[in-house]
């Protein structure tokens, strides 16, 4: 006598159970990616800023012109907040009040240049990444030698803190760095300056870039 076995399919209850498991796993994966994305954006933005600073120094060495990296922390760039512009100062007058294009009057919304000067690059901080926190690496933070003496207790040690905040790192044709918060003479900074960016939703996590005056070297610090 031959026996016939009928294959058994899934019941509606079993299918519903499988769908529920898949949905739960998908939700967990989405939440995990959501937590990782701000940290990846922070790391990527810090690397981009470090590359811009290094590239500006190389441009100054190659062209013999001062090259400024301009920071506009409060500029609304559409997706986020903060714009950085690299400006080659071919006329050597960018920080002079009477110049046609000068730092105090510079509008980051419409990057302009005059004569042989040139806007080399523009970088906007992505959504969720900002200059800060206000105390940089911390109100009592001190770096070890040879970086000691560089202020890392502010979001931007060379930026103005009132009004339309702005600041600039300028590399000269010998690769040295100087710092400006407005038109006129450079700031009285001996060892260097720093700028810190963070993702507020990550809490204390941030990245600090330190620039030395004497050599224009740039170093990145991971905080949290």
Pick from 213, 214, 196, 193: which is nearest to 205 by CA? Answer: 196
For the chain, list residues with pLDDT below 50.
26-34
CA 107 from chain centre, in angstroms, equals: 19
Please give the domain boundaries of the chain with CATH numbers for all domains.
Answer: 40-223 (3.55.40.10)
Q: Which residues, 6+ apart, have CB-to-CB distance to 171 below 8 Å?
A: 56, 57, 59, 60, 61, 66, 67, 68, 69, 177, 216
| pLDDT per position as a tens digit, 19-54 | 555 555 544 444 444 455 889 999 999 999 999 999
CA angle 195, 151, 41 (to 5 degrees): 25
pLDDT at 140: 94
Q: Cα separation of 166 and 159, whole Å?
A: 5
* DSSP H or E stretch at residue 16: helix 12-63
Three-state secondary structure call for residue 36: helix
Q: Cα separation of 87 and 98, whole Å?
A: 18
């Amino acid at each position: 006598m031959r026996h016939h076995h009928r294959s058994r399919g899934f019941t509606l209850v079993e299918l519903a159970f499988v769908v529920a498991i898949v949905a739960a796993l998908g939700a967990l994966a989405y939440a995990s990616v959501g937590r990782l994305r701000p940290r990846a954006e922070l790391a990527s933005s810090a690397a981009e800023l470090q590359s811009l600073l290094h590239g500006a120094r190389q441009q100054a060495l190659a062209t013999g012109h001062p090259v400024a990296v301009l920071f506009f922390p409060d500029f609304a760039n559409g997706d986020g907040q903060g714009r950085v512009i690299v400006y080659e100062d071919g006329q050597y007058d960018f920080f002079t009040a009477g110049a046609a294009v000068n730092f105090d009057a510079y509008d980051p919304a419409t990057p302009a240049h005059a004569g042989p000067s040139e806007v080399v690059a523009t970088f906007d901080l992505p959504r969720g990444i900002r200059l800060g926190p206000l105390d940089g690496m911390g109100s009592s933070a001190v770096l070890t030698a040879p970086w000691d003496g560089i202020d890392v207790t502010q979001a931007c040690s060379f930026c103005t803190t009132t009004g339309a905040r702005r600041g600039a790192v300028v590399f000269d044709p010998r690769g040295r760095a100087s710092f400006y918060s407005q038109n006129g003479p450079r700031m009285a900074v001996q060892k260097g300056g720093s700028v810190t960016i963070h993702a507020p939703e990550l809490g204390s996590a941030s990245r600090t870039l330190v620039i030395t005056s004497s050599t224009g070297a740039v170093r990145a610090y991971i905080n949290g």
